[in-house]
Amino acid sequence: MLKLDAVTVRFGGLTALSDVSFEIPQGEILGLVGPNGAGKTTLFNSISGLVKARGQITFDGKNVIRLPLHRRARVGIGRTFQIPQPMHHLSVRENLAVAQVFGAGRYDPKRIDEILTVMELSHKADADAASALALQELKRLEIAKALATEPKLLLLDEVLAGLESNAKRTFMLKLRELHRLFGLTIVIVEHDIETISELCTRAVVLNFGQLIADGTPAEVFANPAVMESYTGTAHA
């Protein structure tokens, strides 16, 4: 459903992504792996339209690389930010309503309530999103907002970071539930090898803006080049 073909991003003289190509079939949960600065967030930014990229990004059979940011949300690409970005001055419910009305093109308060329930935010529905939520709640709101746009593809940027192991396990179950419930295709940025191995059917590894490995988590993590780029960055 998503196909990247020679995606390249340059910031001035710096090449943040160079010739990245891979494909994600419908329904997959793909782990995006790599050390800090490898280009993972830049890849998300280029898929969701936050940075200009060269190459081809085909989503549902259409090249979306020229679509502006807001149009990508409407064709079904949802994303979260590593540092949560709630819409300021809006309540949690209003955050979802804006996402739904503009991202999905319809207003359905019942569905918003469902999303709030699934993401365990019902008790904070009318609280101010930017000031009254704890960090983990903000991370759940990030996902809830993305879900409200009714995406087919969900890009999750380090949503599991900073959770202790029990909470992480619960949250992984939650992601599986979302995956099934909403029929999603998911790409998740995550450092932890065990998490990737357990959650994902496939992993793609970036290093210095280049794709260096692509395969099942077992294959990828058996690759010496991957381990070399990887040791010491996150899995200590």
Partner 1 sequence: MSHSASHPAAGSPAGSSTARGIALGAGLLVLALVPLMVGASPYMLGLLISALILAGLALSWALLGNLGGMVSFGHAAFFGVGAYASALLAARLNVPVLLAIPIGGLFATLSSLAMLPALRLSGPYFALAILAYAQIFRILATELDWLTGGAAGLQRFPSLPTVFGLDLSERAGSYVLVLACVVLFALVYVVIRRSHVGTALRAIAESEDATRVVGVNATVLKTWMLLLSAFIAGVFGALNAHIIGFLEPDYAFSGIWSVMPIIAAVFGGYRTVLGPIVGAVVIYLFDQVVAKSLIPVGHQILLGIVLAVMVLVAPNGLSGLVARLFPRSEKHHAEA
Q: Residue 187 interacts with partner 1 (CB under 8 A)?
A: no
Contact with partner 1 (CB under 8 A): which of 12, 13, 61, 68?
Answer: 68
Residue 49 to residue 72: CA distance in whole angstroms: 7
- How many residues sit close enough to partner 1 to count as binding (CB under 8 A)? 38
Report in angstroms how near the CB of residue 26 gets to partner 1 at its nearest: 22
Give 82's Cβ-side CA count (13 Å radius): 14
- Please give the C-alpha separations between residue 35 and each of 66, 107, 206, 231, in angstroms, as whole numbers: 29, 40, 8, 9
Report in angstroms how near the CB of residue 78 gets to partner 1 at its nearest: 8
Report in angstroms how near the CB of residue 1 gets to partner 1 at its nearest: 19
Contacts of 167 (CB under 8 A, 6+ apart): 136
Q: Residue 127 interacts with partner 1 (CB under 8 A)?
A: yes
Residue 6 to residue 22: CA distance in whole angstroms: 9
Q: Residue 113 interacts with partner 1 (CB under 8 A)?
A: no
Report in angstroms how near the CB of residue 178 gets to partner 1 at its nearest: 17
Structure tokens at 72: 């990508």
* Site for partner 1, rule CB under 8 A: 48-50, 68-71, 73-74, 78-79, 81, 85-91, 94-95, 97-99, 101-104, 107, 126-128, 130, 132, 145-146, 148-149
